Structure 1
Amino acid sequence: MSFESNEKAEGYWRENLRLVLGLLVIWAAVSFGCGILLVDVLNEIHFMGFKLGFWFAQQGSMYVFVALIFVYVAKANALDKKYGVHED
Protein backbone atom coordinates (compact mmCIF):
# COMPACT_ATOMS: atom_id res chain seq x y z
CA MET A 1 0.00 0.00 0.00
CA SER A 2 1.54 3.27 -1.04
CA PHE A 3 0.19 6.73 -0.43
CA GLU A 4 0.80 9.87 -2.45
CA SER A 5 1.91 11.80 0.63
CA ASN A 6 2.45 11.43 4.35
CA GLU A 7 -0.63 13.56 5.00
CA LYS A 8 -2.82 11.10 3.11
CA ALA A 9 -1.27 8.18 5.00
CA GLU A 10 -1.87 9.87 8.34
CA GLY A 11 -5.45 10.73 7.37
CA TYR A 12 -6.12 7.16 6.27
CA TRP A 13 -4.83 5.64 9.50
CA ARG A 14 -6.60 8.24 11.62
CA GLU A 15 -9.92 7.39 9.96
CA ASN A 16 -9.20 3.67 10.15
CA LEU A 17 -8.43 3.84 13.88
CA ARG A 18 -11.56 5.91 14.48
CA LEU A 19 -13.59 3.26 12.66
CA VAL A 20 -12.05 0.38 14.63
CA LEU A 21 -12.49 2.15 17.97
CA GLY A 22 -16.10 3.01 17.16
CA LEU A 23 -16.91 -0.59 16.30
CA LEU A 24 -15.16 -1.85 19.43
CA VAL A 25 -17.20 0.55 21.56
CA ILE A 26 -20.40 -0.80 20.00
CA TRP A 27 -19.32 -4.39 20.62
CA ALA A 28 -18.32 -3.64 24.21
CA ALA A 29 -21.61 -1.87 24.86
CA VAL A 30 -23.57 -4.82 23.53
CA SER A 31 -21.55 -7.61 25.11
CA PHE A 32 -20.75 -5.95 28.46
CA GLY A 33 -23.68 -3.56 28.72
CA CYS A 34 -26.51 -5.80 27.56
CA GLY A 35 -25.00 -9.07 28.76
CA ILE A 36 -23.88 -7.95 32.22
CA LEU A 37 -24.95 -4.44 33.29
CA LEU A 38 -28.50 -4.38 31.93
CA VAL A 39 -29.20 -8.09 32.27
CA ASP A 40 -31.89 -7.67 34.95
CA VAL A 41 -33.82 -5.10 32.94
CA LEU A 42 -33.51 -7.09 29.71
CA ASN A 43 -34.51 -10.36 31.37
CA GLU A 44 -38.05 -9.01 31.68
CA ILE A 45 -38.30 -9.23 27.87
CA HIS A 46 -38.48 -12.64 26.21
CA PHE A 47 -36.89 -13.32 22.81
CA MET A 48 -37.31 -16.66 21.03
CA GLY A 49 -38.34 -18.26 24.33
CA PHE A 50 -35.31 -16.96 26.27
CA LYS A 51 -34.87 -13.98 28.54
CA LEU A 52 -33.31 -11.20 26.47
CA GLY A 53 -30.45 -10.54 28.92
CA PHE A 54 -29.50 -14.20 28.88
CA TRP A 55 -29.74 -14.27 25.08
CA PHE A 56 -27.39 -11.28 24.74
CA ALA A 57 -24.90 -12.85 27.12
CA GLN A 58 -24.93 -16.19 25.31
CA GLN A 59 -25.63 -15.45 21.64
CA GLY A 60 -26.40 -11.82 20.90
CA SER A 61 -22.93 -10.42 21.44
CA MET A 62 -21.49 -12.97 19.01
CA TYR A 63 -24.07 -12.08 16.35
CA VAL A 64 -23.30 -8.40 16.81
CA PHE A 65 -19.57 -9.11 16.53
CA VAL A 66 -20.06 -10.98 13.23
CA ALA A 67 -22.26 -8.16 11.91
CA LEU A 68 -19.57 -5.64 12.90
CA ILE A 69 -17.02 -7.60 10.88
CA PHE A 70 -19.15 -7.13 7.76
CA VAL A 71 -19.63 -3.44 8.59
CA TYR A 72 -15.85 -3.04 8.99
CA VAL A 73 -15.17 -4.73 5.64
CA ALA A 74 -17.60 -2.43 3.84
CA LYS A 75 -16.34 0.72 5.57
CA ALA A 76 -12.65 -0.24 5.14
CA ASN A 77 -13.18 -0.88 1.41
CA ALA A 78 -14.83 2.54 1.08
CA LEU A 79 -11.94 4.10 2.99
CA ASP A 80 -9.42 2.37 0.71
CA LYS A 81 -11.19 3.75 -2.36
CA LYS A 82 -11.34 7.22 -0.83
CA TYR A 83 -7.57 7.29 -0.38
CA GLY A 84 -6.78 5.45 -3.61
CA VAL A 85 -5.22 2.35 -2.04
CA HIS A 86 -7.92 -0.19 -2.86
CA GLU A 87 -7.13 -3.54 -4.37
CA ASP A 88 -8.92 -4.58 -7.55
Structure 2
Amino acid sequence: MLNRIVDKAKQRAYWQENTALIRNLLIVWALVSLVFSILLVQPLNALRIGSVPLGFWMAQQGSILTFVALIFIYAVQMDKLDRKYGIRK
Protein backbone atom coordinates (compact mmCIF):
# COMPACT_ATOMS: atom_id res chain seq x y z
CA MET A 1 0.00 0.00 0.00
CA LEU A 2 2.79 2.43 0.91
CA ASN A 3 4.54 1.72 -2.43
CA ARG A 4 1.37 2.66 -4.31
CA ILE A 5 1.19 5.99 -2.45
CA VAL A 6 4.86 6.70 -3.15
CA ASP A 7 4.39 5.70 -6.79
CA LYS A 8 1.36 7.98 -7.15
CA ALA A 9 3.27 10.89 -5.61
CA LYS A 10 6.22 10.17 -7.92
CA GLN A 11 3.91 10.02 -10.94
CA ARG A 12 2.24 13.28 -9.97
CA ALA A 13 5.61 15.03 -9.54
CA TYR A 14 6.82 13.65 -12.88
CA TRP A 15 3.77 14.91 -14.74
CA GLN A 16 3.86 18.27 -13.03
CA GLU A 17 7.45 18.77 -14.18
CA ASN A 18 6.59 17.45 -17.63
CA THR A 19 3.64 19.81 -18.09
CA ALA A 20 5.66 22.74 -16.70
CA LEU A 21 8.36 22.07 -19.31
CA ILE A 22 5.78 21.88 -22.08
CA ARG A 23 4.08 25.07 -20.86
CA ASN A 24 7.36 26.99 -20.76
CA LEU A 25 8.39 25.85 -24.24
CA LEU A 26 4.95 26.77 -25.60
CA ILE A 27 5.29 30.24 -24.09
CA VAL A 28 8.63 30.68 -25.91
CA TRP A 29 7.03 29.35 -29.11
CA ALA A 30 4.13 31.82 -28.79
CA LEU A 31 6.45 34.74 -28.11
CA VAL A 32 8.60 34.01 -31.12
CA SER A 33 5.85 33.10 -33.56
CA LEU A 34 3.22 35.66 -32.57
CA VAL A 35 4.92 38.52 -30.78
CA PHE A 36 8.28 38.81 -32.54
CA SER A 37 7.22 37.55 -35.98
CA ILE A 38 3.85 39.31 -36.27
CA LEU A 39 3.07 41.92 -33.62
CA LEU A 40 6.51 43.52 -33.32
CA VAL A 41 7.63 43.09 -36.90
CA GLN A 42 7.59 46.83 -37.69
CA PRO A 43 9.71 47.94 -34.69
CA LEU A 44 12.08 45.01 -35.24
CA ASN A 45 12.51 46.00 -38.88
CA ALA A 46 14.40 49.08 -37.66
CA LEU A 47 17.18 46.70 -36.63
CA ARG A 48 19.13 44.74 -39.21
CA ILE A 49 20.98 41.45 -39.41
CA GLY A 50 23.44 42.18 -42.17
CA SER A 51 21.25 43.77 -44.85
CA VAL A 52 18.02 42.02 -43.77
CA PRO A 53 15.50 43.69 -41.40
CA LEU A 54 15.26 41.78 -38.11
CA GLY A 55 11.44 41.55 -38.19
CA PHE A 56 11.53 39.95 -41.63
CA TRP A 57 14.35 37.63 -40.58
CA MET A 58 12.44 36.53 -37.44
CA ALA A 59 9.33 35.76 -39.49
CA GLN A 60 11.25 33.84 -42.15
CA GLN A 61 14.23 32.21 -40.45
CA GLY A 62 14.39 33.05 -36.77
CA SER A 63 11.11 31.40 -35.85
CA ILE A 64 12.04 28.19 -37.69
CA LEU A 65 15.44 28.04 -36.00
CA THR A 66 13.77 28.68 -32.64
CA PHE A 67 11.29 25.85 -33.23
CA VAL A 68 14.09 23.42 -34.08
CA ALA A 69 15.99 24.52 -30.96
CA LEU A 70 12.84 23.97 -28.86
CA ILE A 71 12.58 20.39 -30.15
CA PHE A 72 16.14 19.65 -29.06
CA ILE A 73 15.66 21.40 -25.71
CA TYR A 74 12.52 19.34 -25.10
CA ALA A 75 14.28 16.08 -25.98
CA VAL A 76 17.26 16.80 -23.70
CA GLN A 77 15.11 18.01 -20.79
CA MET A 78 12.74 15.04 -21.06
CA ASP A 79 15.71 12.67 -21.07
CA LYS A 80 16.93 14.28 -17.84
CA LEU A 81 13.45 14.13 -16.35
CA ASP A 82 13.05 10.46 -17.28
CA ARG A 83 16.40 9.63 -15.67
CA LYS A 84 15.49 11.63 -12.57
CA TYR A 85 12.31 9.61 -12.06
CA GLY A 86 13.68 6.28 -13.25
CA ILE A 87 11.53 6.00 -16.35
CA ARG A 88 12.93 3.32 -18.62
CA LYS A 89 12.29 2.89 -22.33
Q: Partner residue of 2:32?
A: 30
Q: Which has the larger radius of gyration?
A: 2
Aligned pairs (5 A) from 1:49-60 = 49-60=51-62
CA contact (8 A) 1:42 1:51 kept: yes
* SS of residue matched to 2:86: coil
The structure carrying a bigger helix percent of its residues is 2
Q: Partner residue of 1:75?
A: 77
Cα distance in 2 for partners of 1:32, 1:75 equals 24
Cα distance in 2 for partners of 1:66, 1:75 equals 14
Q: Which has the higher contact order (CA 8 A, sep 6+)?
A: 1
Which amino acid in structure 2 is aligned with residue 76 of structure 1? M
Gaps of 5+ in 1: none
Percent identity between the aligned chains? 46
Question: TM-score when scaled to structure 1?
Answer: 0.89
Gaps of 5+ in 2: none
Q: Across the two proteins, how many residue pairs are aligned to each other?
A: 85
Question: TM-score when scaled to structure 2?
Answer: 0.88
Alignment root-mean-square deviation, CA: 1.5
Cα distance in 2 for partners of 1:62, 1:21 equals 19
Runs of 4+ deviating beyond 4 Å: none
